[in-house]
Amino acid sequence: MSISMLFKLSVHSMRFRRGAVLITLTAIALSVFSLAAVEHIRQSVKQSFTSTVSGVDLIIGPRTGGIHLLLTTVFRIGQPSQGISWESYQHIANHPKVAWTIPISLGDSHRGFRVVGTQPSLFTRYQYGQKRHLRFKSGNAFTHVNGVVLGASVARKLGYQKGQAIVIAHGLGQTSFQKHNQHPFYVSGILHPTGTPIDNALYVSLEGLELVHQPSHQKMHEQRHKQIHAQNTALGAQLLSDTTQTTRLTPKSLTATMVGLTSKMSTFTVQREINTYAPEALSAILPGVTLSQLWQISRGIERALTWMVGLIMLTSLLGLSAVMLATLRERAYELAVLRTLGARPFTVFCLIQIETLLVTVLGMMVGGALFLATTAILAPSLAIHYGVDIGLGHISATPIYLGGYVLVGALVVGMLPAITGFWRARRL
């Protein structure tokens, strides 16, 4: 009996048992969808995590472990034990192989969110994901010593708007008794969501952060606020638009600095120079390499998730095998007719295996179509709110390889009903 005839017989048999076939097909489709979705999201999240900060060649901070420095400067986790002196930062910034720097100063907070002292270069140089730049949802970067830029999560959770006054506090607690009430900041801009730690912080100038810790300037700035308030009740807008020169305040130290080099070829040379810098004990790390090392910590969870989805797929295939076995008794008349027409037991074996493969392939097609449709629909939303790019353009060849494993698994689990059918056919 030819392959085409066996195929037609399989299709007719499946139509006769369409109820059981549809249930099994749905289970396989959902399993394939879960398998492809989890694998694709896993790879996308990994790629997004390892590119939380991109375009930065080095992160330089005090002598410490690479992961600790990364957690402190990029993820704002933990408290820096010490910093780097302003003189060392100037030496780094003026290095002939350094193109730009993003200084970072930590220590204060606002209602549980970190306050980061930095420079406007953060909003033009910092990149994340696939070389994405920071964008403003409203307003712009701070141009005044009292300006503050909010991350998307801070603005959403606290309900802040442009021009609103906020007061930062010393320390990292939700509630603080040491607030800098004498130096309020005014929201100059709000960033678009990135799905990175950028969303969970407030950004002020280094001068502004230094100012709130300078008691000698308190009276001068209190008088300045009163004068501006008397001229215009919209105090926030007036402060932001004011271009009067203010006292330049130089911090004594920084938490760390991000560095962009003039040439990628000089990365290891500059890193070695910083790590052996004599005047101060410093560390220079490659953020991409350190992010990959940090990701290795979660490999156990990653593998457990993959195994769980694999077990779901195996369960569906075993269900397919169980359905094929359960219907063999109902197909006794069908098998008898086939034997009467001259079909050999091996023909029955092939018929059952072809049916198993047909149900599996149809389930894979439905599951794959569902995966592609869901990815196309959810990709923009996930990219905006979580910074995870799961777009169709980033689908790897891994789901195709997984599809091959599913087909092999279907052939294996289909052996039991096929062999059972073979022996029943021999008895007829």
pLDDT at 215: 60
Using alpha carbons, select from 258, 128, 267, 265 the residue that is nearest to residue 199.
128
Q: HSE on the CB side for 76, CA within 13 Å? A: 22
Tokens of 94: 């003026």
Tokens of 54: 């991109």
Q: Quote the CA–CA distance of 259 and 261 in Å, as a whole number.
A: 6
How far out from the chain centre does Cα 140 lie? Answer: 25
Using alpha carbons, select from 60, 51, 108 the residue that is nearest to residue 83.
60
pLDDT at 185: 94
Tokens 């100063």 locate to 105
Q: Quote the CA–CA distance of 44 and 77 in Å, as a whole number.
A: 23
pLDDT at 327: 77
Instruction: Taking each helix axis as running N to C, give the angle between helix 345-386 and helix 398-413, from 0 to 180 degrees, rounded to the nearest 10.
Output: 150
In the chain, where the domains are located:
3-50+298-427, 58-285
Q: Quote the CA–CA distance of 421 and 188 in Å, as a whole number.
A: 75
Over the range 183-205, which residues count as b (16 or more CB within 10 Å of their CB) and which as e? bbbbbbbbbebbbbbbbbbbbbb
Neighbours of 2 (CB within 10 A): 7
Sign of CA dihedral 137, 141, 143, 146: positive
Q: Are 148 and 204 in contact (CB under 8 A)?
A: yes
Q: Is 419 helix (H, G, I), strand (E, B) or coil?
A: helix
Residue 51 CA: distances (Å) to CA of 74, 182, 287, 382: 11, 39, 9, 16
Neighbours of 420 (CB within 10 A): 16
Q: HSE on the CB side for 36, CA within 13 Å? A: 30
pTM, entire model: 0.71
Q: Is 78 left (phi over 0), alpha (psi -120 to 50) or beta?
A: left
Q: Quote the CA–CA distance of 159 and 155 in Å, as a whole number.
A: 5
The ranges of the chain with pLDDT < 50 are 177, 216-247
Q: Quote the CA–CA distance of 66 and 69 in Å, as a whole number.
A: 5
Tokens of 316: 């569906």
Q: Are 144 and 204 in contact (CB under 8 A)?
A: no
pLDDT at 122: 94
pLDDT at 182: 80
Q: Are 141 and 135 in contact (CB under 8 A)?
A: no
pLDDT at 401: 74
Neighbours of 326 (CB within 10 A): 11
